[in-house]
Amino acid sequence: MSKFLIDTDVMIWHLRGKKETKDLLKSLQKAGVPMCSPISIIEVQVGVKPGEEEFTNEFLESLNVCNMNREIANKAAEYLTAYREKGITLQILDAIIAATCVVRDLILVTYHDRHYPMPEIRVYPIIPFDFLPKNMK
């Protein structure tokens, strides 16, 4: 089992054919099939355009999915509450992905590390690349 959980943004860049992301995922496969959250599957499936279904489904089927459970739900709620008290609004989906990483002891692979301010989150060090638009960095 892999020790990496890939975030939705990484999945999308892979599906869009970005070489850097494809190479990254190939290198991560050496540690086993990467994990993903069911949340990411939902996010990716919502954005599928006509003609992309087969390729997208094939890719999603190749990943291991971390199922949500009560411990993950409670941890996500804890993050949402704690950060709201600090005046920081987290997205519910990001809180669930963060909680999944902490509960399952996984390293998060994301281009959006700023979405995960929790100090206990281990983030795979990805070097940003030029094709990311400013609103995606």
- The mean pLDDT value for 107-135 works out to 82
Q: CA 107 to CA 119: how far, in whole Å?
A: 13
* Whole-prediction pTM: 0.88
pLDDT tens sequence across 41-88: 999 999 999 999 999 999 999 999 999 999 999 999 999 999 999 999
Q: Which strand (E) or helix (H) includes residue 108? A: strand 107-109
- CB of 15 within 8 A of CB of 43? no
| pLDDT tops 50 at residue 120 | yes
- Please, where are the H alpha helices in the chain? 8-15, 19-28, 38-46, 53-61, 70-85, 92-104
| pLDDT tops 50 at residue 119 | yes
Alpha carbon separation from 50 to 46, 47, 54, 74 (Å, rounded): 11, 10, 10, 37
Which domains, and CATH codes, for the chain?
4-136 (3.40.50.1010)
Question: What are phi and psi for residue 27, nearest 5 degrees?
Answer: -70, -35
Question: What are phi and psi for residue 56, nearest 5 degrees?
Answer: -65, -50
Amino acid 137: pLDDT:
43
pLDDT tens sequence across 81-114: 999 999 999 999 999 999 999 999 999 999 998 9
Q: CA 58 to CA 99: how far, in whole Å?
A: 26
